[in-house]
């Protein structure tokens, strides 16, 4: 029996984690705490919203007094913390909200957990979900390991790095039982279409330009979101306290090569002649401080906890494109309202 607080469960990765835990562990009660920012969407959880062991709490992690009340009220035994501002481009526009949510929000949860668990830390866990972006940028060679020194470059990665440091500080100073994982770029269903893959699928469907930053030569390491959720499950249950685990599938793609795969797949599934949408590729001004390459070494997770990705990239991208094509209503719903203004502002050049 556990009462697990999952923060950010209405977002992209969080919704997959909530679903996986509810479907796998009938003995757990899941409290999904989410502020429902533009990135949080209860449509992501429609299929499980009436599950007996599921409760949704519309709350802000930065509200420390509320967090204290909720830990007590729901007798929270464990935390899986995913709530965050997560988009690099937005962090360049508005760094304050990233420091507020990612740093102060994490601190508020850590302190609430510490106070509620009150030094009796047995059978509790604070699991902090983080990103490989805290390690900075690689050149052409090498991988990020758990020992790589932090070197964040964007306000987003700086705020995530800071939150990781606070988690470790709570473990070292107060003995809080913590674990951290740092994952590479995720792709899959329910991702908000400001991130590369869903944005480009949507633009190809609608014959809109595909804004490629710089020369399209930056490299990202892509992992299917369900595999990230499986890794979180394994680390939550078997991870060693105080440890860090890198999560990735050794699947690096240069942006422009990935974009060509997406174009090909969408065109084929829409019955368009191959190459029809190549003309949509539009090179635009590079992102400020754009990290060149991310690549995760997840050997520790494989060797110590036995996790590895469940599917090949070709299969994952096919499933993903199909999902977006079959769920255009979801896309329409999440891209109404503020999204239009955001898109105009970001891509007007
Ligand atoms: P997302 O932006 O899709 O979802 C974030 C969720 O957090 C949303 O539901 C939002 O409403 C909620 N939220 C934001 N501020 C909040 C607040 N103050 N209080 C409560 N809820 C709030 O993000 P995602 O891509 O699902 O990422 C989830 C986590 O995983 C983040 O911590 C991110 O740093 C990390 N991560 C993401 C990736 C990736 O590729 N997307 C890779 C590695 C790690
Ligand atoms: P993104 O999905 O924003 O993830 P992150 O910046 O966290 O890695 O971007 C993935 C890559 O795609 C990154 O190198 C930036 C690039 N990109 C574009 O070229 N055009 C776009 O419109 C977007 C959103 C991203």
The half-sphere exposure of 57 on its side-chain side, counting CA atoms within 13 A, is 22
Q: Which residues, 6+ apart, have CB-to-CB distance to 89 below 8 Å?
A: 194, 287, 346
Which pTM does this prediction carry?
A: 0.98
Instruction: Give the pLDDT confidence score for residue 345 in this predicted structure.
Output: 80
CA of 85 to the centre of ligand 1 (A): 6
* Binding site membership of 185 for ligand 2 (Cβ less than 6 Å): yes
* Binding site membership of 34 for ligand 1 (Cβ less than 6 Å): yes
Q: What is the pLDDT of residues 156-188, one digit of tens each?
A: 999 999 999 999 999 999 999 999 999 999 999
In order of start, what are the domains of the chain with their CATH numbers?
A: 3-187+220-247 (3.40.50.720), 196-219+253-288+312-347 (3.90.25.10)
* Binding site membership of 70 for ligand 1 (Cβ less than 6 Å): no
Nearest to 176 by CA among 242, 130, 239, 233: 242
* Binding site membership of 10 for ligand 1 (Cβ less than 6 Å): yes
Whether residue 248 contacts residue 297, with contact meaning beta carbons closer than 8 Å, is answered with yes
In the predicted structure, residue 340 carries a pLDDT above the cut 80: no
Pick the residue whose CA is nearest to atom 15 on ligand 1: 84
**Most informative mutation of 11, 58, 222 for ligand 1 (most atoms within 8 A of CB):** 11
In the predicted structure, residue 289 carries a pLDDT above the cut 70: yes
CA of 271 to the centre of ligand 1 (A): 34
* Binding site membership of 129 for ligand 1 (Cβ less than 6 Å): yes
Pick the residue whose CA is nearest to atom 13 on ligand 2: 218
Pick the residue whose CA is nearest to atom 17 on ligand 1: 60
Q: Which atom of ligand 2 is nearest to the CA of 219?
A: 14
Whole-number percent of the chain with pLDDT over 70: 100
* Binding site membership of 30 for ligand 2 (Cβ less than 6 Å): no
Instruction: Give the pLDDT confidence score for residue 341 in this predicted structure.
Output: 76
Has 38 been annotated as catalytic?
no
Instruction: Give the pLDDT confidence score for residue 168 in this predicted structure.
Output: 98
Whether residue 174 contacts residue 114, with contact meaning beta carbons closer than 8 Å, is answered with yes
Instruction: Give the pLDDT confidence score for residue 119 in this predicted structure.
Output: 78
- Given the residues 156, 187, 190, 324, the one annotated as active site: 156
CA of 80 to the centre of ligand 2 (A): 26
| Structure tokens that stand for 294 in this block | 């991310």
Q: What is the pLDDT of residues 1-40, one digit of tens each?
A: 999 999 999 999 999 999 999 999 999 999 999 999 999 9
Mean pLDDT of the chain: 96
Whether residue 126 contacts residue 170, with contact meaning beta carbons closer than 8 Å, is answered with yes
**Can you give the chain as a three-state secondary structure string?**
CEEEEEECCCCHHHHHHHHHHHHHCCCEEEEEEECCCCCCCHHHHHHHCCCCCEEEEECCCCCHHHHHHHHHHCCCCEEEECCCCCCHHHHHHCHHHHHHHHHHHHHHHHHHHHHHHCCCCCCCEEEEEEEHHHHCCECCCCCECCCCCCCCCCHHHHHHHHHHHHHHHHHHHHCCCEEEEEECEEECCCCCCCCHHHHHHHHHHCCCCEEEECCCCCEEEEEEHHHHHHHHHHHHHHCCCCCEEEECCCCEEEHHHHHHHHHHHHHHHCCCCCCHHHHHEEEECCCCCCCCECCECCHHHHHHHCCCCCCCHHHHHHHHHHHHHHCHHHHHHHCCCHHHHHHHHHCCC
Q: What is the pLDDT of residues 56-110, one digit of tens each?
A: 999 999 999 999 999 999 999 999 999 999 999 999 999 999 999 999 999 999 9
* Binding site membership of 263 for ligand 2 (Cβ less than 6 Å): no
DSSP bridge pairs for 180 = 128, 244
d(CA 18, CA 10): 9
Q: Give the pLDDT band of residue 349 (cuts 50, 70, 90).
A: low
Q: What is the pLDDT of residues 15-26, one digit of tens each?
A: 999 999 999 999
CA of 83 to the centre of ligand 1 (A): 4
Handedness of CA 84, 194, 316, 260 (dihedral sign): negative
Handedness of CA 281, 284, 290, 292 (dihedral sign): positive
Instruction: Give the pLDDT confidence score for residue 225 in this predicted structure.
Output: 98
Instruction: Give the pLDDT confidence score for residue 275 in this predicted structure.
Output: 87
Instruction: Give the pLDDT confidence score for residue 267 in this predicted structure.
Output: 97
């Amino acid at each position: 029996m556990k009462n697990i607080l999952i923060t950010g469960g209405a977002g992209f990765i969080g919704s997959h984690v909530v679903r996986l835990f509810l479907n796998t562990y009938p003995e757990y009660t899941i409290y999904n705490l989410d502020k429902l920012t533009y990135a949080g969407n209860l449509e992501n959880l429609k299929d499980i919203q009436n599950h007996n062991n599921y409760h949704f709490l519309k709350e802000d992690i930065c509200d420390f007094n509320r967090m204290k009340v909720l830990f007590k009220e729901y007798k929270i035994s464990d935390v899986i913390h995913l709530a965050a501002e997560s988009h690099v481009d937005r962090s360049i526009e508005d760094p304050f909200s990233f420091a507020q949510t990612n740093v102060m929000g994490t601190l508020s949860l850590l302190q609430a957990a510490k106070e509620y668990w009150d030094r009796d830390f047995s059978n509790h866990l604070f699991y902090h979900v983080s990103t490989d972006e805290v390690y900075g940028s690689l050149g052409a060679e090498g991988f990020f390991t758990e020992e790589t020194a932090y070197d964040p470059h964007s306000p987003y990665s700086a705020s995530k790095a800071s939150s990781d440091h606070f988690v470790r500080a709570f473990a070292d100073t107060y003995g809080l039982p913590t674990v951290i994982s740092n994952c590479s770029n995720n792709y899959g269903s329910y991702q908000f279409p400001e991130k590369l893959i869903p944005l480009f699928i949507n633009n190809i469907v609608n014959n809109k330009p595909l804004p490629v930053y710089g020369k399209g030569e930056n490299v990202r390491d892509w992992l299917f979101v369900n595999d990230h959720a499986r890794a979180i499950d394994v680390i939550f249950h078997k991870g060693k306290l105080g440890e860090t685990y890198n999560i990735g599938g050794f699947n690096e793609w240069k942006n422009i090569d990935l974009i060509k795969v997406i174009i090909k797949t969408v065109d084929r599934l829409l019955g368009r002649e191959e190459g029809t949408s190549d003309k949509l590729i539009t090179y635009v001004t590079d992102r400020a401080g754009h990290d060149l390459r991310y690549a995760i070494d997840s050997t520790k997770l494989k060797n110590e906890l036995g996790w590895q990705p469940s599917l090949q990239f070709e299969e994952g991208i096919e499933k993903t494109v199909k999902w977006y094509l079959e769920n255009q209503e979801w896309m329409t719903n999440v891209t109404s309202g503020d999204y239009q203004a955001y898109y105009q502002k970001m891509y007007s050049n």
